[in-house]
Structure 1
Amino acid sequence: MDTGTHIVMGLALAGLSTLDPEVAANSTTATAVMIGTIVGSQAPDIDTVLKLRNNAVYIRNHRGITHSIPAVLLWPIGITAVIYPFFPEANLLHLWLWTFLAVFLHVFVDIFNGYGTQALRPFSPKWVALGMINTFDPIIFGLHVLGLIVWGLGAHPGFTFLVVYAVLVAYYIIRFFAQRKVVQEVKTLIPDATDIIISPTMKFSQWRIAVMNKHQFFVGRAYKNDVTILDQFNRVKVPSSPVIEAAKKDKNLSAFLSFSPVYRWEVDEYNDYYEVKFIDLRYRSKDHYPFVAVVQLDLDLNIQSSYTGWIFSEEKLRKKLEILPG
C-alpha cells in the first residue's frame, strides 16, 4: 500500500489496541503502543530510500528483504527495544505484540497489490502479488480516515476500528470474487492461456490484464466482467545473441528482469550504437507501456547508457539515456 494508507493503518491499530485490557488500564502502555504501531506500520518501507541511489537498486530490493519472514520477526524486536527505555512502566509484552501486529499487517496487505512482496524469503525469492487491491485504494484509505474522524468526535476507538476492520474483511472478500470473475472471463476468451495476471486500478470495477499462451501475449482491460483485449503480440523467445547477452550484464536490465514476469523485447541498430529495450506488459496506460528497461551499446558491445523505470514519453526517455536517436 502507499505511505498514507500505512500511516492511517498504524493509527487505526493504536485505536484498536484500546480493546486490550493491558493497554486500556495503563496510559504509559497506551502511549508506547501508539508509537509502536505507527512506526511498525512504516518500518518495512524503509527500503524506499534506495530510490535515492537509482531505480535499479530500488526495483531489485523494494519490498524484498525488508518484507521477508525474518524482517517481520526482527522489526518488532528492534522497534520495541528502542521505544521501551523511554516508557519503562509500559507492558513490554503487549508493546511488542501490537508492534508485531503493525509490521505483520503492513506486509500482509502489500501481498494483495499487483506489485507484491518477497514475503516468502528466505524460503523462496518469488514475488507474491495477488493483484486484488490497488497500491492506493480510496475505499480502504477512506474507511480508515472515517474511523479516525469518528474517534476524534468521541467514539470509542477500539469498537470503532473493530467495525472498520470487519467492513474491510468483507471488502477484501468482495474483491477476491470480483477478480475471480474476471479470470474466468479471460479463460473463456483465451482458453489456452498459460499465465493470467490481473492488476487492480484505483477504480473499483476496472482491471488491467496481461495474458500469455504458448504463442502470444494479450494485453487488455476489464470493466466488471466485460473483458476487452487491446493489444496482441507474438511471443518471441529472447535470443542468445551477442548484443542481448552484453545488454543483460547491465544493472538496469538485470533489475528489470528480476522483477517483471511478462514482457516483450526489441533490438534496434543505429549508425553507431545498438539499443535493446524490454517492455513490461502489465502497466498499459493510454496506449503506452511506461515500465521499461533500455540499454544502449556501442558497436563493440560496450554499454554506453541505460535506464529502467516508469517513463511516459520518448523525449523523456532520451533525456534519461543522454544519447540522441541515430
Structure 2
Amino acid sequence: MDTVTHTLFGIVLYRAINKVEMTPSLKRSFLFTSLVGSQSPDIDVISQLWDTQGMYQMWHRGITHSIFMVPIWAMLLSLICFLIWRTKDKRIFFLGVLAVFIHDTSDIFNAWGTGYFEPFTHARLTFGTIPILDLTIWAIILGGLIFARVRKHIASHKVFKGVWCLITAHIIIQSVQGYAIYQSVDDRYEQVALSAEFAPWNYQVIGKHGDMVEISNATVWSEPEVVYTLPSATKANLDELFEKNPAARTLRQWSPFVVIVDDDKQLGIYDPRFYRNGQSFLFEYIEKNNKGAN
C-alpha cells in the first residue's frame, strides 16, 4: 500500500482502541505505536542512499517486511515507549505486533508484493487483488471519520472497529473475485499474474505464453478482453545487459516474468504488470550504441 494508506491504517487502529481511563502517557504510547508501527517496515527506502548495484527492488519490501520481523519491530516500539514515556504495558507490544502485521500483510495484496518469508526465501509474495493506492479504503475510512463526528453518542472505538470490518470485507471481496479470474485463465498461459485496477472489481490479467505476453482487462462478469499483445525476445542473450545494468538482473529475479526488448536501439527487460500507455515504469535497459544504462 502507499504511505498515506499505511498512515490511515495507523490512525484507524488507534481510534479503534477503547482509551477510557488510560493515562496521558499511555495514550501517547498507543498513538506512537499505532502510527510508527504502521510505517516502520518502509524504513527500507533509505537503502536507495547506498544502492550502487541496482538491488533496491530486492531491498524494498524485503527483510523489513518479513512476517518474522513483526515481533522484533513490536519489541523495539515497546522499548522506545518505555524510554520516552516510561510506560510498561504489554498491550503496547501487542499493538505493535498488530500494526506491523497489518502493514506487511496488506502489502502482499498489491502487485508489487513483499518478501513476506525472508530470509528463508527471496521470492515476492503477491496476490495483485488490491491496487497500491486503494481509493475504496480511503472512502471507508473517511466515512468512518464523518460518522464518528456526526454520531457522537456512539463510542468512537466501536465506529472504527466497524471501519476495520468494512476494510476487511472489501479486501476479501476483491481477492475472491481476483482468484476466480485467475483460475479462469490459468490454463490459457504458461505464467499468469494479476494486477488490480483503481476501480473496484476490475483487474488486469497478465499472461505469458511462449514469446508473447497478453494484458487483458477482466471482471468476474465478463470474458477477459485483450488490450495489449507484447512480443518478448526470449532467445536474446542478456549477459551484456546484466553486466552493464545490474538493476536488470534484480528486476528479472524480482518479477514473476518479464518482457524482453531486443531491437536496433535497446536491449532491456520490463515488468508487464506495470505496463501503461505503451511503457512500463519498471524498465531496465542498455542502449545498443553503448552510451550507457538507464
How does the TM-score come out when normalised to structure 1? Answer: 0.80
Cα deviation, residue 215, structure 1? 5.3
Q: Corresponding residue for 1:79?
A: 77
Q: Corresponding residue for 1:256?
A: 251
Could you report, residue by residue, the CA deviation over 1:233-265 in whole angstroms, capped at 9, with x for unpaired residues?
4555344x4xx3122122221222222222221
Could you report, residue by residue, the CA deviation over 1:118-163 in whole angstroms, capped at 9, with x for unpaired residues?
0111121110011111111111122123223334453422211111
Corresponding residue to 1:60 among 49, 58, 61: 58
- Structure 2 gaps of 5+ residues are none
Other structure's SS at 1:262 match:
coil
Q: For the residues of structure 2 that align with 1:45 and 1:158, how far apart are their CA atoms?
A: 27
Q: Corresponding residue for 2:269?
A: 278
Cα deviation, residue 177, structure 1? 2.3
- Structure 1 gaps of 5+ residues are 308-326
- Whether the 8 Å CA contact 2:193–2:256 is kept in 1: the answer is no
Q: For the residues of structure 1 that align with 2:40 and 2:249, how far apart are their CA atoms?
A: 27
The runs of at least 4 aligned residues of structure 1 exceeding 4 Å deviation read 51-55, 233-236
Cα deviation, residue 295, structure 1? 1.7
- Whether the 8 Å CA contact 2:247–2:284 is kept in 1: the answer is yes
Other structure's SS at 2:256 match:
coil
Change (3 A) 1:205 1:70: closer
Change (3 A) 1:70 1:224: closer
Other structure's SS at 1:94 match:
helix
Change (3 A) 1:157 1:5: same
How does the TM-score come out when normalised to structure 2? Answer: 0.88
Q: Which amino acid aligns with 1:79?
A: L
Change (3 A) 1:11 1:123: same
Larger mean CA deviation between 145-154 and 204-213 belongs to 145-154
Cα deviation, residue 53, structure 1? 5.6
Larger mean CA deviation between 260-269 and 102-111 belongs to 260-269
- Whether the 8 Å CA contact 1:111–1:129 is kept in 2: the answer is yes
Q: Corresponding residue for 2:191?
A: 195
Q: Corresponding residue for 2:106?
A: 109
Could you report, residue by residue, the CA deviation over 1:246-296 in whole angstroms, capped at 9, with x for unpaired residues?
2212222122222222222123456xxxx3121221122234333211123
Q: Does the alignment pair 1:15 with 2:10?
A: no
Q: Corresponding residue for 1:166?
A: 165
Counterpart mapping for 1:1-326 below 5 A: 1-18=1-18, 23-27=19-23, 28-51=25-48, 56-88=54-86, 90-153=87-150, 154=152, 155-187=154-186, 191-214=187-210, 216-226=212-222, 227-233=224-230, 236-239=233-236, 241=237, 244-249=238-243, 250-269=245-264, 275-296=266-287, 304-307=291-294
Other structure's SS at 1:305 match:
coil
Q: For the residues of structure 1 that align with 2:29 and 2:119, how far apart are their CA atoms?
A: 31
Change (3 A) 1:292 1:83: same
Q: For the residues of structure 1 that align with 2:141 and 2:130, how far apart are their CA atoms?
A: 15
Q: For the residues of structure 2 that align with 1:263 and 1:156, how far apart are their CA atoms?
A: 50
Q: Which amino acid aligns with 2:113?
A: G
What RMSD over aligned residues (CA atoms) do the two structures have, in Å? Answer: 2.4
Cα deviation, residue 97, structure 1? 1.0
Other structure's SS at 2:194 match:
strand
Q: For the residues of structure 2 that align with 1:238 and 1:288, how far apart are their CA atoms?
A: 21
- Whether the 8 Å CA contact 1:281–1:289 is kept in 2: the answer is yes
- Whether the 8 Å CA contact 1:80–1:99 is kept in 2: the answer is yes
Identity over the aligned pairs, expressed in percent? Answer: 21
Which structure has the bigger radius of gyration? 1
Q: Which amino acid aligns with 2:227?
A: L
Aligned length: 288
